[in-house]
Amino acid sequence: MSIEVSNESGMDVSEAELVSVARFAIASMDVHPAAELSMVLVDSATMADLHMRWMDLPGPTDVMSFPMDELEPGGRPDAPEPGPSMLGDIVLCPSFAADQAAAAGHPLEHELALLTVHGVLHLLGYDHAEPDEEKEMFGLQNRILEEWYEDLRRAEEAELQAARDRRLLGKTGFARGDGL
């Protein structure tokens, strides 16, 4: 899976975290592992321009998605095996997201992770224009985000355990092979 991130926002953002959550969301939606995604982080003025140009709405917004290929999550059971494709572009505005994060009382990193999952779902054809669509999309978004955080927690615990094991084995001589 290829995920390109271009930070043109002027803000310091963890690109690795954005790639991680995007990769997790794409995999959770059963998209071909060779799919490609582009993410661009922009300032408020650039986002306001894109928002007006593509949505005919004034002012900046938090995230916009520009799908490239027509995809369906999971595909049809009778369809041939799908190949790699370009999902599209997700455009994030970290400064707008920072204001939303402050208003919601959570860190900017969480807001950007949420918006990344939101953007991925839009690329895959999900929308929230109607109440039932909104319920489906936001439920899926929250589930993916919770599972990603759980996956991160498990990986952190595994790393801590591995570090403890290395320390213990190093003290007992097992790491050198002379403890048996």
What is the three-state SS of 27-82?
Answer: HHCCCCCCCEEEEEECCHHHHHHHHHHHHCCCCCCCEEEEECCCCCCCCCCCCCCC
Which pLDDT score, from 0 to 100, does residue 70 have? 53
Mean pLDDT of 41-62: 96
128 labelled as ligand-binding? yes
Domain covering 2-68+84-172 in this structure, CATH number? 3.40.390.30
Which pLDDT score, from 0 to 100, does residue 178 have? 56
Which pLDDT score, from 0 to 100, does residue 132 have? 96
Is the pTM value of this prediction over 0.95?
A: no
Token pair of 148 as six digits:
């990603």
Helices 94-104 and 44-55 sit at what angle, rounded to 10 degrees? 100
Which pLDDT score, from 0 to 100, does residue 93 have? 98
Residue 71 above 70 pLDDT? no
- Is the model more confident about 116 or about 77? 116
Mean pLDDT of the chain: 89
Whether 136 contacts 41, CB under 8 Å: no
Please choose, from the candidates 63, 71, 54, the residue with its C-alpha nearest in 3D space to the C-alpha of residue 125: 71
Kind of pairing between the strands at 36-41 and 2-7: parallel
110 labelled as ligand-binding? no
Convert the pLDDT of each residue in 110-132 to its tens digit: 999 999 999 999 999 999 999 99
Report the C-alpha gap between 73 and 90 in whole angstroms: 18
Which pLDDT score, from 0 to 100, does residue 170 have? 80
Report the C-alpha gap between 27 and 23 in whole angstroms: 6
32 labelled as ligand-binding? no
Token pair of 132 as six digits:
């039932």
How far is the first Cα of the chain from the last one, in angstroms, to the nearest whole number?
43
